[in-house]
Structure 1
């Protein structure tokens, strides 16, 4: 009975999810012996492979740095790939530890504190480690719609989950390059795969519209992290979609302060996805002076107003009266 109770104490949702992910990934690679398993590491916030506690697992493993060809980008922030041989105790141990860390970094408090995503997923490729790193190095530095250098942080799984649907299939294939399947956690911290069967192009050639969407992702992910901490769970896909849509509307309302845009997106998550269509909110936004923050404009809302917005009956009436 004591052993049973002890085991039960470890059966938290996170532990169950980690075990399931480890099992699923090991099964995938065991069925494809021709595929290498490359761990993606983003050391920009914290580098777990240099931590005293974890370094021993990774010290002897082969790695390749993804070069970011810009003098202003710190060398110690460059992402890198680690080759994991799952048939060896060292590789299997490092692999299991990397899965644990990936889930740990998705804890709501960790996201809200801005501690970053140290693990960027696990790549399946029959190309060499250096080939994959060199390919990513050709695409990680992009030039935005104003011609300015911009690091496309696709190696951050929370960023990737928002960038991927913005890209065309050709651009997705260009990003993957020699990677056949990219295993990672999605925006809801659920395991997913990124792969595509399409022709590729020489470069990503992101359009102005795509850049505009990508620029919003920082506000979206910040709002989602704060919301996840408040509700103590991962965001649902519908909430992620609502956050993306709200970030675009925030721009249309002329909100250009980052914290103000984050607050607007948070309102869409906490109150109602279309909260800004509520008559009182719409009136406040319409009367807002260009130099007045959104947060100041809506600070006059009462608790009863917010209860009414959350209830959503007003939106049902609005939808029913709209011409079809």
Structure 2
């Protein structure tokens, strides 16, 4: 869930499909499938491609020389009489969430299903130009807000004005989270077109949005290593990991995969506040004071720690965070 006011999620069901189909029937709205075709070679086994190849694909190019000929997106209209495209795109999106494919780094070609009453030209322009953002005092960056693994993190760290502009060309934006739940991000298009597409992102906000990369690595590793266990929901997993990222933002933990991977797994499988336990907090502080900030000893420590004792201590110290 992005936040309580703007987003809701539920598992893919026939009701979800009917809901999207009903939106495509409205005279003043259109339903669009947003695809990243640059990952096609990694998903050639999908039954979606032969269907898409027969349809009119509206290309979205990005106004930056480094992306010319390298990166593009497609918008494909889902019409009321084309149930096959909607059904197959849902199946393709679910198939891309299989742990094996995620751990192989194949990425996700299905970005989402957009409901919009804007013109196709404006919708394309909005996605294209909003994706290239000036960050105050830092430079210009690619904001992959359309990526289903990034959209939640982006929306969460923006204020209302920024969020209004980010989703200013759609009425609603549907996508799948990592649990396979259909999420709906509220859109803000009301018939008016923006003249510019800057979100006025500060350096602090940008640093928080960039965490999406590390967070997704942690989630994918967690799903792979905990395949036979009952998984924490993506909503809670993101909440717990982001809390840890905030609390440890003054350290170099999140730039060291040798330690942030086992630590994130511990947060999701042992207790959300394990990093605050004295034994672990002391090791982090000691490492940060060292000259080379070598986190390998702590990584080894996390592999051999007595988790029963740590969890018991955490349950007493942080009862608001159940295991």
Matched, 1:45 2:39: yes
- 8 A Cα contact 2:245 2:254, kept in partner: no
- 8 A Cα contact 2:24 2:79, kept in partner: no
Partners of 2:318 and 2:49 in 1: CA distance: 56
**Judging changes above 3 Å, is the alpha-carbon distance between structure 1 residues 66 and 235 closer, same or farther for their aligned structure 2 residues?**
farther
TM-score (norm 1): 0.81
3-state SS of 2:309 partner? helix
**Judging changes above 3 Å, is the alpha-carbon distance between structure 1 residues 235 and 70 closer, same or farther for their aligned structure 2 residues?**
farther
The alpha-carbon deviation at position 137 of structure 1 amounts to 1.2
Question: What's the counterpart of residue 112 of structure 1?
Answer: 103
Partners of 2:79 and 2:134 in 1: CA distance: 36
Question: What's the counterpart of residue 306 of structure 1?
Answer: 307
The alpha-carbon deviation at position 19 of structure 1 amounts to 3.9
**Judging changes above 3 Å, is the alpha-carbon distance between structure 1 residues 70 and 198 closer, same or farther for their aligned structure 2 residues?**
closer
Matched, 1:276 2:271: no
Matched, 1:141 2:132: yes
Question: What's the counterpart of residue 13 of structure 1?
Answer: none
The alpha-carbon deviation at position 304 of structure 1 amounts to 5.3
User: Which of the numbers 16, 21, 27 marks the counterpart of 1:26?
Assistant: 21
Question: What's the counterpart of residue 193 of structure 1?
Answer: 184
- 8 A Cα contact 2:55 2:76, kept in partner: yes
The alpha-carbon deviation at position 51 of structure 1 amounts to 6.5
- Of stretches 278-287 and 247-256 in structure 1, the one that deviates more from structure 2 is 247-256
CA RMSD of aligned residues (A): 2.8
The number of residues matched between the two structures is 299
Question: What's the counterpart of residue 251 of structure 2?
Answer: 253
- 8 A Cα contact 2:148 2:177, kept in partner: yes
Question: What's the counterpart of residue 9 of structure 1?
Answer: none
- 8 A Cα contact 1:223 1:262, kept in partner: yes
Partners of 1:68 and 1:251 in 2: CA distance: 32
Question: What's the counterpart of residue 6 of structure 2?
Answer: none
Question: What's the counterpart of residue 204 of structure 1?
Answer: 199
User: Which of the numbers 174, 193, 200 marks the counterpart of 2:165?
Assistant: 174
- Of stretches 165-174 and 288-297 in structure 1, the one that deviates more from structure 2 is 288-297
**Judging changes above 3 Å, is the alpha-carbon distance between structure 1 residues 44 and 111 closer, same or farther for their aligned structure 2 residues?**
same
Matched, 1:63 2:62: no
**Judging changes above 3 Å, is the alpha-carbon distance between structure 1 residues 241 and 147 closer, same or farther for their aligned structure 2 residues?**
same
- Per-residue displacement from partner, 1:78-97 (whole Å, max 9, x unpaired)? 2221122132xxx3212211
- Of stretches 211-220 and 177-186 in structure 1, the one that deviates more from structure 2 is 177-186
Greater share of helix residues, 1 or 2? 1
The alpha-carbon deviation at position 101 of structure 1 amounts to 0.9
Partners of 2:220 and 2:298 in 1: CA distance: 24
Return the structure number with greater relative CO, CA threshold 8 A, min gap 6: 2
Partners of 1:130 and 1:198 in 2: CA distance: 14
**Judging changes above 3 Å, is the alpha-carbon distance between structure 1 residues 258 and 98 closer, same or farther for their aligned structure 2 residues?**
farther
3-state SS of 1:142 partner? strand
Structure 1 unaligned residues grouped into runs of 5+: 1-15
Superposition pairs for residues 69-148 of structure 1, below 5 Å?
69-73=63-67, 75-87=69-81, 91-148=82-139
- 8 A Cα contact 2:31 2:78, kept in partner: yes
**Judging changes above 3 Å, is the alpha-carbon distance between structure 1 residues 52 and 124 closer, same or farther for their aligned structure 2 residues?**
closer
Partners of 1:282 and 1:28 in 2: CA distance: 51
- 8 A Cα contact 2:221 2:261, kept in partner: no
**Judging changes above 3 Å, is the alpha-carbon distance between structure 1 residues 274 and 52 closer, same or farther for their aligned structure 2 residues?**
closer
